[in-house]
Amino acid sequence: MVTIKSKKEIELMKEACKVVALTYQELEKRIKPGMTTWELDQIAEKTMRSLGAIPAEKGYNIGIKGVPPYPATLCVSINDEVIHGIPSKNKVIREGDIVSIDTVALKNGFNGDAARTFIVGKASKEAERLVQVTKQAFFEGIKFAKPGYRIGDVSHRIGEYVHSQGYSVVREFQGHGIGREMHEDPGIPNYGKAGRGIRLEPGMTLAIEPMVIQGKPNILQLDDGWTIITEDGSLAAHYENTILITEKEPEILTIL
């Protein structure tokens, strides 16, 4: 069931989303070659807690036998890792890497969710273009995040744009509703047919997140039960924001 947030709930949720935006602001300042992904994770957790929020991904359990609860504040995925890379003291960020980070903050009983892909140092032109297209795919999609349109209109535009740029979208993972729960209805794929799915209404809060692969769309899951990589070793990027459907244009809650 899709939840419509009240004015009070939206104000509370905006606080959680602001924490996420401030966390990314801090990470962008601090990320550099030679750091470990574990160090990034520590920065994010310290920032969130200093702002009165809880790292919602830490301890998150997907309920699949054999898959342990997620152990960290951030998902940090490098180069051919698409999503859900687990931070580690042994994983060093190098010059030219593209680093996708996804995180969720819980404050006042509400969640804020966003993802960014950072270019560390000087990367290839191909990597830079992938990151830019992934970000633009989000903004293409939310052109249809207005009352009267349907979820399928958002999904269709994201996929259409990504494919027009010569890239692939991940089909096995998708965006989602968000609020008191990290993952709520509706699911929001990054592809599909226009005119399908539920109709958008003011008060809906959605996490829209293009996950884009430079090569073929096939993915693999590593033995840790979390990390998703591209099957062909090509680069991947991720961009996400939590948005609010309003009477007019969508409001992006996880950008300062």
CATH code of the domain covering residue 231: 3.90.230.10
b (16+ CB within 10 A) / e for 54-91: bbbbbeeeeeeeeeeebebbbbbbbbbbbbbbbbeeeb
At residue 190, the pLDDT reads 98
In a domain, 1, yes or no: no
Is the pTM value of this prediction over 0.95?
yes
Q: What is the pLDDT of residues 204-228, one digit of tens each?
A: 999 999 999 999 999 999 999 999 9
Q: What tens digit of pLDDT does each residue of 20-66 get?
A: 999 999 999 999 999 999 999 999 999 999 999 999 999 999 888 88
Is 75 a domain residue? yes
What average pLDDT does the chain have? 97
**In the predicted model, what is the mean pLDDT of residues 80-103?**
98
User: What is 132-184 written as a DSSP string?
Assistant: HHHHHHHHHHGGG-STT-BHHHHHHHHHHHHHHTT-EE-SS--EEE-SSSSSE
Q: Is residue 245 a contact partner of residue 146, using CB atoms and an 8 Å limit?
A: yes
pLDDT band at 69 (very low <50, low <70, confident <90, very high): very high
Question: Pairing between strand 81-83 and 228-230?
Answer: antiparallel
| Residue 12, pLDDT score | 98
Which pair of structure tokens corresponds to residue 61?
């359990």
Task: Please indicate, yes or no, if residue 179 is contained in any of the structural domains.
Answer: yes
In terms of residue numbers, what domain contains 245? 7-250
Identify the DSSP state of 198.
Answer: P
In a domain, 256, yes or no: no
Pair 74, 103: CB distance under 8 Å:
yes
> Is 2 within the bounds of a domain?
no
Confidence class of residue 87 from pLDDT cuts 50, 70 and 90? very high
SS3 1: coil
User: What pLDDT, in 10s, does the model give residues 118-151?
Assistant: 999 999 999 999 999 999 999 999 999 999 999 9
Does some domain include residue 48?
Answer: yes
Residues 6+ apart with CB under 8 A from 66: 225
Task: Provide the number of structural domains found in the chain.
Answer: 1
**Structure-token pair, residue 199:** 């109709």
Q: Do the beta carbons of residue 66 and residue 73 sit within 8 Å?
A: no
The Cα 209–Cα 138 span in angstroms is 7
Can you tell me the distance from the alpha carbon of 170 to that of 180, in angstroms, rounded to the nearest whole number? 26
